[in-house]
Amino acid sequence: MDPLQQSNSLHETVEAGMSNIHFHKFINDDELALKLALAIAEDLSCTIKEKGSATLLVSGGITPLKLFSALSFIELEWEHVRIGLCDERWISPSHNESNEKLIRETLLQNYALKATFVGMYIKGCDAVNAEAECSQKIRSSLYPFDVIVLGMGNDAHTASLFPNNTSLSEAYTTDEICIAMEPTTAPHTRMSLTLKAILSSSRIYLHFQGDSKLKVYNEAMSGDDIFAMPIRSILKQHIKKIEVYFA
């Protein structure tokens, strides 16, 4: 069964009241980066042994830079790893704000240089018209997902699922892998993984740092409105367990 379709039935396999959050707290971002890098590397190595290859989808921004550096120095069979994105600004990969550029310059270094990268951006096509092609590209190159590393913004967005966005309802319900998003509080049109695509991953990590982000996390955990705080769509579901890494 396709993991995107299977995600609906998985809800029934988790006991009522059972927490799906495993919270890991570290004293500083260096320790966090190392421990999370080791956990991801272990996931990838086990998956490669089991399936012959593994996929890793990551988020951009400043927060994961130390994680990417630590991960790139870990020896594993990177030639059997395919790396993709949770979301992308719909700009050229040469643009300084491109997540693809960030990943190529930080994660795809050292031992990880042997990994294969699959970007979201499709030249010559606007994001809305590229949804189907991007979904097919990700499905054929990276799907099913083995490991996803999400981030969280101060506005509680994750991937490019922004609060109170007109496309959120579709992003939460569609069976497609990708959806175009037009943020009202951030620059650039985006392409994002949908909720079902994210929750189809075998392993899901949420990585954030600092007191301000912890305040956002605690607020998200105390309420249920997934449109006001999209990170709740990840934290408050009972389909998959979420490994939270915080410093």
Assigned token pair, 189: 């049109």
Domains of the chain: which residue ranges?
Answer: 38-246
Predicted pLDDT of residue 5: 54
Predicted pLDDT of residue 3: 57
Predicted pLDDT of residue 15: 32
Q: List, for residues 109-118, the tens digit of each pLDDT value.
A: 999 999 999 9
Residue 18 has pLDDT above 80, yes or no: no
Predicted pLDDT of residue 19: 81
Q: List, for residues 199-227, the tens digit of each pLDDT value.
A: 999 999 999 999 999 999 999 999 999 99
Class for the domain spanning 38-246 = alpha beta
Full-model pTM:
0.92
Instruction: Tell me the pLDDT band of 187, cut-offs 50, 70 and 90.
Output: confident
Q: List, for residues 26-61, the tens digit of each pLDDT value.
A: 999 999 999 999 999 999 999 999 999 999 999 999
- Helix residue spans in the chain (DSSP H): 3-10, 29-51, 65-72, 99-106, 127-142, 168-173, 195-199, 211-221, 232-235
Q: List, for residues 59-79, the tens digit of each pLDDT value.
A: 999 999 999 999 999 999 999
How many C-beta atoms surround the C-beta of residue 13 within 10 A?
A: 8
Q: List, for residues 156-179, the tens digit of each pLDDT value.
A: 999 999 999 999 999 999 999 999
Assigned token pair, 116: 């294969």
DSSP state of 39: H
